[in-house]
Chains A and B, each alone.
Chain A
Amino acid sequence: MSVNILDRVAAGKADKSDVLIVCHKKEAGHGVKVTVKSSVRAFFGKHIESLVARKINELQITDILVEVDDNGALDFAILARLEAALIKMGHNVTKPLLDDACFDHFNPDFSRLRRSRLYIPGNNPDLIINAGLFGADSLILDLEDSVAPEQKFDTRFMIRNILTCKNNFLGASERIVRINPLSCEYGLADLEMIVPARPDIILIPKCETADDIIKIEKIVAKLEQSHGIPKQILFMPLIETARGVINAYKIATASKRSVALCFGAEDFTRDIGCERTRDGKETFSARCSIVYAAKAAGIEAIDTVFSDIEDSEGLRKSTVEAQSIGFCGKGLIHPGQIRIVHEVFAPTTEQIQYANRVMQAIEDAKSRGLGVIALGSKMIDAPVVERARKTLELAAKMGIDTAKKEVR
């Protein structure tokens, strides 16, 4: 055991579904003492006390006082806080306190739909435990902007436990973690904790050069190897500076792991020194550049977040515009925004009917041995066929019954 044990260390907070754990160093002979204050004490007081005591004993810590101030935290959150506190205190914790890491939901997949990517502050278990219920295509557990510097350390344990917990709190959504930039003091530690927990995607903020991606790829590949991770974790570079926009194509092609380029308008407008407006004229050119760079690299582009949760018409307008210039998805900060975004990105009945007619025309032409395909008075060429195929593919992915919508 380490000799430099701190006198008093705290982790977490007694917010709803969370817990504040305070550990006090005690002199030899004091023994292990756990006190539990809890809003659910009548139901889980004994359980919490024995859980914490058992973990302390397993670590062979002999003299300590652990004060638990609980407000309905589930075990994964209690153990995340306890582990963070013990490590900060100087104890040697060699394996996660959460038993039986579960990786059943690890499924990095290039071809998923990414219409909606919902940000969840990584240090807020109350928001996380229901995050999987809303049908977002992707969930982003955030370690970066929504987490204060003094909470970064604790948050890593929370996110790792969420990803590896037997209970699947993230539903069928793709699991993304936004790390801190490698250039700051937190980035490397984020990767070392998060990669072994196997998120599907790492969202890399403030990407400015190809090198930003290459450096991270090296670290990730090494961690994957040492932890025996069977599939490659994917990347999603987030571009939010002028320099990043200029280098967007190089960023997009820096790694085969990148599935999409994302745009971040908040930091971008700050970087170029202008106000962010509702209609977003100031970012229009940058957003187009990112779409072109992504498409040239053969990947998707995803638009910035829409941050006014009250303004559903504004969200619809912004999403329609994003779709019209080539983005395949939108960033979100509230589950209530998901439905609108999915509605906008769904092919219309007219589009599906037209696509069905195109495919039918191809079948007809084939069966009659015709080389030239016509629909009504219009010739059908390769791009039209390709678009029809994509429309039907998208509709099928979204669970829309394409056959039913055919009107003949």
Chain B
Amino acid sequence: MEMIKNALGRMVPSEINGRPVKPYAGAFADMVSGKRKAAPPIPRCFPGRVNKVINGLDAALDKLPLRDGMCISFHHHLRNGDYLVNAVVEKLAQRGFKDIVLAPTALFPVHDKLIPYIESGVISHVEGSMNGDVGLACSLGKMKRTATLRSHGGRVRAIQDGDLHIDIAFIGASAADCYGNANGVLGKSACGPLSYSNVDSLYADCSVVITDNLVPFPCIPWSIQGGNINYVVTVDSIGDPAQIVSGTTKLTKSPTQLLIAEYAARFVDEIGYIREGLSFQAGAGGISLAFNVYLAEMMKKKGFTASFAHGGGNTVLVKMLEEGALKYICEGQCFDLDAVRSLRENDNHVESTLSISYNYHAKGCIAHMLDIGVLGATEIDLNFNVNVNTHSDGLLLHGTGGFPDVAAGSDVTIITAPSFRKRIPIIRENVTTVTCPGELIDVVVTERGICINPKRQDLIDKTKNSKLPIMSIDQLMDEVYKITGVPEKVELDDKIVAVMEWRDGSMLDVIRKVKT
């Protein structure tokens, strides 16, 4: 394996787990000329009525084509309330399988139970987002092979382009019929869309719907379509939907977070984007949700209606939709149960697949139709490069989500973050890990200063007479250092434990083992 310097000056490997990869060459570089997408095996419909139902996970695993080294996938629509990843991995471990590649769309603290299986080699590595202790285990070098982190759109691309081959896709559904049509809006475990699993159902060798609510054929709406499903497995419960609301999806009371959200909304107003037909996406996290509240207030005051909100549905957006301040919500996941209800009942609240939403290797995606994208970060550097995955001490603790896709697509990408957390400054000379290149970041909003990327002279001009605390990013870093002091440099191990893959499959950066 060779290390190559990419377009951001980061040293990246030429292959990952034996698969050759290219260095990052720019946010919209061409990595595809002359290539075709991957394709799943060709199935056949046998004569007669179809019934794919199997009772219980054990009986299902008896039938599935299991093997060492296989890649299995899951969605995270139930977020911290998911029961399935732990249950399936535990049963595979009991059956003695090892070297499994786990390809979830994200993992949450509830999945901390996977750690022993990572340590024992049942799971060789993760391809997908990792939150909490699984990320920590990866940082400490406990995974046998190198993990790959991808954005939502990047994961879809990797599957479609053949970089990530899924052997068996497990798709939890709160309602499904005997044929495999399924949705996430009906039943006791309703958690919203099933959009994360759409691509899995289309491209996996074998796709399995797991449900705790078998309904008569046809199951409508059908977020997952039975023509793509091999088996339907019935279980007592797929998870606890009450747990989809977590710390990152609650409205904040923190005065500092509220101030940052208010600054961001005022900035959007001053650059002239509070207007008829505004489209926006504000992700999870207290500041983003509060931003939605301020934005709604401003739109209402001026009598404008937003055209669509994209991303995670939540109670604030639902209120806007129901009050007529917003025409449509197009979403891939729900952040609370109010959003689940709205998705079920409101025709203007629709589910969109991750390919339609975020995929760079598609013929357009919704993220590229956004006016405003508001996103969080753990670090931002003087070149506006953003890190959302690792902390400054090198620990991998957060997933990527749709960050790079939204940043690449939005007219104006705004990062909201406190200027320091505890004593740790957010603005650094260099980020620990690049999640998203600075060329896609337009504005950084903190409680102590707002920095506009010098590439956006238009935004600088529009806010020339602003009363907002606008300053250069160097100045903000210096001011924060005056408060916190300059942090010591953290030494990391040479061993690469994970790679950051850009939307197009190129190598953006690496994550190194943390010294213990």
Q: CB within 8 Å of B: which residues of A?
A: 16-17, 39-40, 42-47, 71-75, 129-130, 133-134, 167, 309, 334-336
Contact check, A167 vs B393: say whether CB atoms are below 8 A apart: no
What are 22 pairs between A and B in contact, CB < 8 Å?
Answer: A16-B422, A39-B422, A40-B422, A40-B423, A43-B392, A43-B393, A43-B488, A43-B490, A44-B487, A45-B488, A72-B421, A72-B423, A74-B423, A129-B483, A130-B256, A133-B259, A133-B448, A334-B255, A335-B255, A335-B259, A336-B255, A336-B258
Closest A residue, CB atoms, query B262: A339
8 A-B pairs with the lowest CB-CB distances in the bound complex, closest first: A72-B422, A43-B487, A335-B255, A72-B423, A42-B393, A40-B423, A130-B256, A42-B490
Could you tell me the distance between the alpha carbons of A335 and B258 in the complex, rounded to whole angstroms?
9
Most buried by A among B259, B392, B424, B483: B483
How distant is the Cα of A133 from the Cα of B393 in the complex, in angstroms?
A: 28
A134-B490 contact given A17-B422, A44-B423, CB 8 Å threshold: no
B56 at the interface (CB under 8 A from A): no
Chain A binding site: helix, strand, loop or mixed by DSSP?
Answer: loop
Rounded to whole Å, the gap between the CB of A49 and the closest CB of chain B is 11
Known: A42-B490, A47-B488, A72-B423. A133 touches B258 (CB 8 A): no
Complex: A335 Cα to B423 Cα, angstroms = 22
| A309 cross-chain contacts in B, Cβ below 8 A | 253
Contacts of B422 in A (CB 8 A): 16-17, 39-40, 71-72
Instruction: List B contacts of A16 (CB < 8 A).
Output: 422
Q: Which residues of B353-402 are within 8 A (CB) of A? A: 392-393
A sample of 13 more A-B contacts (CB under 8 A), given A47-B488, A130-B259, A133-B256, is A17-B422, A42-B488, A42-B490, A43-B423, A44-B423, A44-B487, A45-B488, A72-B422, A133-B447, A134-B255, A167-B483, A336-B255, A336-B258
Asked if B324 is at the interface (CB within 8 A of a chain A CB), the reply is no
CB distance from B482 to the nearest CB of A (A): 6
Nearest CB of B to A11, in Å: 19
Complex alpha-carbon distance, A129 and B482, angstroms: 13
**At the interface, yes or no: B472 with Cβ under 8 Å from chain A?**
no
Contact with A along B245-261 (1 / 0, CB 8 A): 00000000101101100
Give the Cβ gap from A47 to chain B, nearest Cβ, in Å: 6
Minimum distance in angstroms from B161 CB to a CB of chain A: 38
Closest A residue to B395 by CB, please name it.
A42
B contact face: mostly helix, strand, loop, or mixed: loop
Q: Closest B-chain residue to A127, C-beta based? A: B255
CB-CB < 8 A to A46: which residues of B? Answer: 488
Residues of B460-486 at the interface with A, using a CB-CB cut-off of 8 Å, are 482-485
Chain B residue at smallest Cβ distance from A166: B482
Docked pose: A75 CA to B484 CA in angstroms: 8
- Which listed residue, A17, A45, A167, A335, touches B482 by the CB 8 Å rule? A167
A44:B485 contact, CB within 8 angstroms: yes
Cα-based distance from A40 to B258 in the complex (angstroms): 25
Do B255 and A44 have beta carbons less than 8 Å apart? no
Nearest CB of chain A from residue B246's CB, rounded to whole Å: 20
Minimum C-beta distance from A344 to chain B (A): 18
A313 to chain B, nearest CB (A): 15
Name the residue of chain A whose CB is nearest to the CB of B258. Answer: A336
**Distance of A257 from chain B, by nearest CB (Å):** 31
**Are B488 and A74 within 8 A (Cβ)?**
no
Question: In the bound complex, do residue B447 and residue A73 qualify as a contact, i.e. CB atoms below 8 Å apart?
Answer: no
Given contacts A42-B488, A43-B490, A72-B424, contact A134 B259 (CB under 8 A): yes
Determine the distance from Cα of A6 to Cα of B283 in the docked complex, in whole angstroms. Answer: 53
* Known contacts A40-B423, A42-B490, A73-B423: A47-B255 contact under CB 8 Å: no
- Closest B residue to A334 by CB, please name it: B255
Report the bound CA distance from A39 to B488 in whole Å: 14
Q: Which residues of the partner chain B approach A40 to less than 8 Å between Cβ atoms? A: 422-424, 487
How far, in whole Å, are A26 and B487 apart by their CA atoms in the complex? 32
Do A43 and B424 contact each other (CB < 8 Å), given the known contacts A74-B483, A75-B485, A167-B482? Answer: yes
Tell me the bound Cα distance from A258 to B259 in angstroms.
33
CA distance A334 to B257 in the complex (A): 13
Interfacial residues of chain B within 220-268, with CB under 8 A of chain A in the complex:
253, 255-256, 258-259
Chain B residues whose C-beta falls within 8 Å of the C-beta of A134 in the assembled complex: 255, 259
Give B385-434 interface residues, CB cut-off 8 Å to A: 392-393, 421-424
Task: Give the distance to chain A from B104, nearest Cβ to Cβ, in Å.
Answer: 29
Q: Which residues of B contact A129 (CB under 8 A)?
A: 483
Closest partner residue, chain A, to B488 (CB atom): A43
Query: In whole Å, how far is B141's beta carbon from the nearest beta carbon of chain A?
Result: 17
Give A129 to B420 CA distance when docked, in angstroms: 11
Measured in the bound complex, the distance between the Cα atoms of B486 and A44 in whole Å is: 8
CB contacts (< 8 Å) of A74 on chain B: these are: 423, 483-484
Separation of A166 and B448 alpha carbons in the complex (Å): 16
Q: Which residues of B sit under 8 angstroms from A133, Cβ to Cβ? A: 256, 259, 447-448
Q: Chain B residue with minimal CB distance to A135?
A: B259
Which residues of A sit under 8 angstroms from B487, Cβ to Cβ?
A: 40, 43-44
List residues of chain A with CB within 8 A of the CB of B447: 130, 133
A36 to chain B: closest CB distance in Å?
12
Residues of A within 8 A of B255 (CB): 130, 134, 334-336
Q: Which residues of A contact B258 (CB under 8 A)?
A: 335-336
Report the separation of the CA atoms of residues A334 and B484 in the bound assembly, to the nearest whole angstrom. Answer: 25
With a cutoff of 8 Å between Cβ atoms, the chain A residues found around residue B421 in the complex are: 72
Taking CB atoms, residues of chain A closer than 8 Å to B488 are 42-47
A334 neighbours in B (Cβ, 8 Å): 255
Question: Which B residues lie within 8 Å of A17 (CB)?
Answer: 422-423
Complex: how many Å from CA A68 to CA B488?
Answer: 18
Chain B contacts for A130, CB-based, 8 A? 255-256, 259, 447
Q: What CA separation (Å) do A17 and B483 show in the bound complex?
A: 12
What's the least CB distance linking A20 to chain B, in Å? 15
CB closest residue in chain B, given A335: B255
Taking CB atoms, residues of chain A closer than 8 Å to B448 are 133
Q: In the assembly, what is the distance between CA of A40 and CA of B490, in Å?
A: 11
Min Cβ gap A21→B in Å is: 16
| Interface 0/1 of B420-455, CB less than 8 Å to A | 011110000000000000000000000110000000
How many whole Å from B186's CB to the nearest CB in chain A? 34
Assembled-state Cα–Cα distance A39/B395 (Å): 13
The residue on B at minimum CB distance from A72 is B422
